[in-house]
A and B are shown apart, each in its own frame.
Chain A
Amino acid sequence: MSEDRRVVITGMGVVSALGIGKEALLRGITSASSGITPTTRRIGKFETTVPLGVVPDYRPLEYFTDDELLLRDPYAQYAIIAAREAMEEAGLPDRSFVGERTAIVFGTGAGGEYAREEAAHRFLAEGKPRCNPTLVPRTNHQASVGFVSMAYGIRGPAIIVSSGCASSNHAIAQAYLMVKHGVADRALAGGSDANAVYTNIKAFDALRILAPDTCRPFSRDRRGMVMGEGGGVVVLETLEMARARGAIILAELAGVGMSADAGDIVHPTATGPAQAMRTALSEARLNPEDIDYINAHGTGTDANDREEIRAVKLAFGAHAQKLAISSTKSLHGHALGGVGGIELVATLLAMRENVLPPTVNYLGPDPDCDLDVVPNEARPKPIRATLSNAFAFGGLNAVLALRKMP
């Protein structure tokens, strides 16, 4: 527990509104084409059509057998698919793989919401008295972790983290701490969500935060967030272990910063996120001037974007005017508890390709968001170090700091 080791990322996988896999996400980033589209969700006689960022042309039978789908709700499917891609890129399991020394920490905000909604409809709309026994294992938040542990024989610490929109970042932070301090040598970390179902769309709509048009973070005339689905997973391991087996290192996960606003249950503040960013920098032994890019939480709501820009100014001082900050939610929507995983992969791709991901759907500057938000077009730029932000209702904040390895 007293060890203090450097933690690197050697594999990444992602499922998002831009498609399955990191190359689909990269194509969306570089071509600045959003996966957000008007989408209809229905249950029984109820339906709604809103802009959503859902996985396009997703055919589960390409990834799972019929039998496997019985217990895997879409959120778990996305985590498993992303984990497979990450493990494959990392070249794992290999001879160095020890199940007992490997951890899994995933995040989800809602777990198996499709099963939950179907069961509720069956009980309350159809008046059926019996419950499908698969409801409990499908809706369990930890199902994604269980299935991935079984797939690879991962027998170390295995937990799920649920902190709303910060779930993935909090999960990655816990995995980082485990590897850094010797609880595990390696970890699969990330998260997923698939809860753009009828009832949940109605719930978010009731908060008056869903955009009727699209997601345009930091832009003038932005009108709110767009719900999405998907997830992202990375492989973390010690620098020493990665070097010993000749793994390709995507970046160092150099530090994490977590904080709580202790303010309001839904309204964000600037001070909590600023504290999380400062902590991540300090933990990573990075100076503000080292950061070239921030993947923002950037939901597209008036309040989030304004407060996040204030937070960046508080944390970075004069350097805030020099760094780039964009929200890839404009490309893939807000996949809630899974979005931190997607955005970590987007950030790693930005570092790999030396390209700043754009904030698309941008109509023009908002005086409250007067930083370089990389409007509408990806931009080549050497990237040395980055932050990826996630902030949740309840005022819970988690920030990841990444450094490119020489």
Chain B
Amino acid sequence: MNDVSDATAEAGGLSAAETSYIGGGIASAVRKVKPSLAATPLEAKTRFDDLGISSMELITIIFEIEDFFDIQIVDRNLDGFETYGESCKIVGRLLAAKQAATGGTAR
């Protein structure tokens, strides 16, 4: 998880707690949609297609992530959802942008 935390932190001024929150939220979405991955470790470089996640499952995971974090993942951000680490970065960026826009915390 450290490399994920580092990657997420790079995304823009989020605290350690917030990066852990992002990584955990994304992992929960993955495992909610595909429960057979409950015991599969997720690392930054882990590719979703290598986990046998179909395109239908991936868009459902993205829906769960949007729902959980109350963000919208569209356009270029959507294309970046190939690895766990990149997904954490994207969500981190979107949460930071949301935080900047609202003046509150990312959570």
Contact A133 B59 (CB under 8 A): yes
Query: Among the listed A66, A71, A130, which residue makes an inter-chain contact with B63, where contact means beta carbons less than 8 Å apart?
Result: A130
Q: Does A67 contact B (CB under 8 A)?
A: yes
Q: Are A71 and B56 in contact (CB under 8 A)?
A: yes
7 intermolecular pairs with C-beta atoms under 8 Å apart: A67-B34, A67-B35, A71-B56, A130-B66, A131-B63, A132-B63, A134-B56
Please indicate the chain B residues that have their CB under 8 angstroms from the CB of A132 in the complex.
60, 63
Cross-chain contact B63 with A65 (CB below 8 angstroms): no
Give the complex CA separation of A137 and B57 in angstroms: 12
A137 to B60, CA, bound (A): 12
Do the beta carbons of A128 and B67 come within 8 Å of each other? yes
Chain A, residue nearest B57 (CB): A70
Q: Nearest Cβ distance between residue A135 and chain B, in whole angstroms?
A: 10
Contact between chains at B36 and A134 (CB < 8 Å): no
Q: Does B27 sit within 8 A of A, measured CB to CB?
A: no
CB-based contact B60/A65 at 8 Å: no
B56 touches A137 (CB 8 A): yes
A318, chain B: closest CB distance, angstroms = 59
Chain A minimum-CB-distance residue to B58:
A133
Residue of A nearest to B72 (CB): A130
* A132 to B33 Cα, complex, angstroms: 11
The main secondary structure of chain A at its interface with chain B is loop
Query: Is the beta-carbon distance between A134 and B60 smaller than 8 angstroms?
Result: yes
Q: Which residues on the A side are within 8 Å of B59 (C-beta)?
A: 133
A310 to chain B, nearest CB (A): 50
Are B36 and A65 within 8 A (Cβ)? yes
CA distance A378 to B66 in the complex (A): 57
Q: Which of A70, A128, A131 contacts B33 (CB 8 A)?
A: A70
Distance in Å: Cβ of A73 to nearest Cβ of chain B? 14
B:7-62 near A, CB below 8 Å: 33-36, 56-57, 59-60
In the complex, what distance in Å separates the CA atom of A132 from the CA atom of B66? 10
Interface residues of A in 83-141 (CB under 8 A from B): 128, 130-134, 137
Q: Roughly how many angstroms separate A128 CA and B63 CA in the complex, as a whole number?
A: 12
Interface string of A61-72 (1 = CB under 8 A from B): 000011100110
Q: How far is the CA of A70 from the CA of B58 in the complex (A)?
A: 12
Whole-angstrom distance from the CB of B69 to the nearest CB of chain A? 12
A-chain residues with CB within 8 Å of residue B35 when the two chains form the complex = 66-67
Give the contacting residue for A66; candidates B36, B60, B66, B67; CB below 8 A. Answer: B36
Contact with B along A47-88 (1 / 0, CB 8 A): 000000000000000000111001100000000000000000
Q: Mark B66-102, 1 if CB is under 8 A from A, else 0.
A: 1100000000000000000000000000000000000
Complex Cα distance, B35 from A65, in Å, reads 9
A385 to B41, CA, bound (A): 60
Q: Are B67 and A133 in contact (CB under 8 A)?
A: no
Query: How far is B35's CA from A66's CA once the two chains are assembled, in angstroms?
Result: 6
Question: In the complex, what distance in Å separates the CA atom of A399 from the CA atom of B59?
Answer: 43
B36→A67 contact, CB < 8 A: yes
Q: How far is the CB of A122 from chain B (nearest CB, A)?
A: 10
Complex alpha-carbon distance, A67 and B52, angstroms: 11
Cα of A34 to Cα of B56 in the assembled complex, Å = 40
Measured in the bound complex, the distance between the Cα atoms of B58 and A365 in whole Å is 59
State the Cβ distance, B62 to closest chain A Cβ, in Å. Answer: 8
**Whole-angstrom CA separation of A130 from B57 in the bound complex:** 16
Given contacts A65-B36, A67-B34, contact A130 B67 (CB under 8 A): yes
B-side contacts of A67, CB under 8 Å:
34-36, 57
A131 contacts across to B, CB distance below 8 A: 63
Instruction: Give CA–CA (A131, B60) in the complex, Å.
Output: 10
Assembled-state Cα–Cα distance A133/B34 (Å) = 14
A33 to chain B, nearest CB (A): 36
Give me the 8 closest cross-chain CB pairs, A-B, nearest first.
A66-B35, A133-B59, A133-B60, A67-B36, A133-B63, A67-B34, A134-B60, A132-B63
In addition to A130-B66, A130-B67, A133-B60, 11 A-B residue pairs with Cβ atoms within 8 Å of each other are: A66-B34, A66-B35, A66-B36, A67-B34, A67-B35, A67-B57, A70-B33, A70-B34, A71-B56, A133-B56, A133-B59
Nearest residue, chain B, Cβ from A66: B35
CB distance from A68 to the nearest CB of B (A): 10
**B60 CB contacts on chain A under 8 angstroms:** 70, 132-134
CA distance A56 to B91 in the complex (A): 43
Q: With A and B bound together, what is the CA distance between A128 and B66 in angstroms? A: 11
Question: What is the CA–CA distance of A70 and B57 in the complex, to the nearest angstrom?
Answer: 8
Q: In the assembled complex, how far is the CB of residue B92 from the closest CB belonging to chain A, in whole angstroms? A: 20
A137 to chain B minimum Cβ distance, whole angstroms, is 7
* Complex Cα spacing A103 to B56, Å: 26
Q: Which residue of B lies closest to A137 (CB)?
A: B56
CB-based nearest A residue for B35: A66
Most buried by B among A128, A130, A137: A130
